[in-house]
Amino acid sequence: MPKFGDVPSWVGAIGTVGALGVSLALIYLQGKDRRKDRMEQLASQARLVSAWTEEPLIDVKPYPQLVTVVENGSNQAIHQVSISLQLGVRGKFHRWLASMGPNEVREVRLSIPASPRSNLIMPQVAFVDASGRRWLRSGYQLREPTGKDMAEHWRQHPGSYQSEDEHPTLWSGKTGDNPVTRQRHGTSGPPRPRDHLAGLREHHRVSGAGSSTGGAAGRWRRR
């Protein structure tokens, strides 16, 4: 036990405590790095799943259609796929896509009661990856959702209409909206996988040129 005034003993004790603190800090940082690496591994497939909107089909009858594209750019299937779109007074829509195969691209034409009031529409996509882990992507943000997150994702809202029953296109049973698988223009095989962030950067670069979707539509062949 060091005595008061025994300077060398106090210096030695302080050095020991300091070394212990540094060791604990290194252990914490190493654990943090391992957790980050593990999350990167867990999200390796999920990062290759993306969704975006293209130029709406305004002249389609009886209602305009908002074109949403979902891409599984990975080499494994994803399951329980669904999209949600918030269109303000037009309503909040949810559509179910079930499972998607490796490198599959699926188009959903969503009937809406009137033309969208904004070009800045970012669909939210939920899915379960090949390992059974559920993910939710909203734009650049990818996360493992809570139960509350999923309840909000699945929830529909009639917007300015008095009720869901009064809304003419909220339910796909009224409009027959069905997802359609399609291929990239000029190819005979499945679409190539691409990184989600690269796709979004491309999407927003087109948006800055005057349209949020018009440039992307030209690279696809609609069926």
Tokens 């190819």 correspond to what residue? 187
Give me the pLDDT at residue 10, please. Answer: 60
Give the residue-averaged pLDDT of 128-142.
95
Q: Which residue has the tokens 């996360």?
A: 143
Q: Which of 19-23, 26-30, 32-36, 124-128 has the highest mean pLDDT?
A: 124-128
**193 pLDDT exceeds 90?**
no
Q: Check residue 199 and give its pLDDT.
A: 45
Residue with the bigger pLDDT between 92 and 41: it is 92
Range scoring the smallest mean pLDDT among 19-28, 76-85, 116-125, 178-187: 178-187
pLDDT at 171: 87
Range of 34-48, 116-130, 177-191, 209-223 with top mean pLDDT: 116-130
Hey, how many other C-beta atoms are within 10 angstroms of the C-beta on 183? 16
Give yes or no for residue 188 having a pLDDT over 50. no
Q: Between 216 and 163, where is the model more confident?
A: 163
Express as a percent the part of the chain with pLDDT over 90. 50
Note the pLDDT tens digit of each residue in 148-183. 999 999 999 999 999 999 999 998 888 877 777 765
Q: What is the chain's mean pLDDT, rounded?
A: 77
Q: Encoding tokens for residue 119?
A: 């070009």
What is each CA distance from 25 to 13, 18, 34, 187, in whole angstroms? 18, 11, 14, 53
**Beta strands, E only, the chain:** 49-53, 65-72, 78-86, 92-100, 105-111, 124-128, 134-138, 141-143, 180-182
Per residue in 53-107, pLDDT (tens digit) is: 998 998 888 999 999 999 999 999 999 999 999 999 999 999 999 999 999 999 9
- CB of 45 closer than 8 Å to CB of 74: yes
Domain boundaries, the chain: 1-42, 46-217
pLDDT tier, 112 (very low <50, low <70, confident <90, very high otherwise): very high
- Position 53 scores a pLDDT of 93
Full strand arrangement of the beta sheet holding 92-100: 92-100, 78-86, 124-128, 134-138, 141-143
Classify 170 as helix, strand or coil. Answer: coil
Q: What local confidence, expressed as pLDDT, does residue 1 receive?
A: 52
Residue 215 has pLDDT above 60, yes or no: no
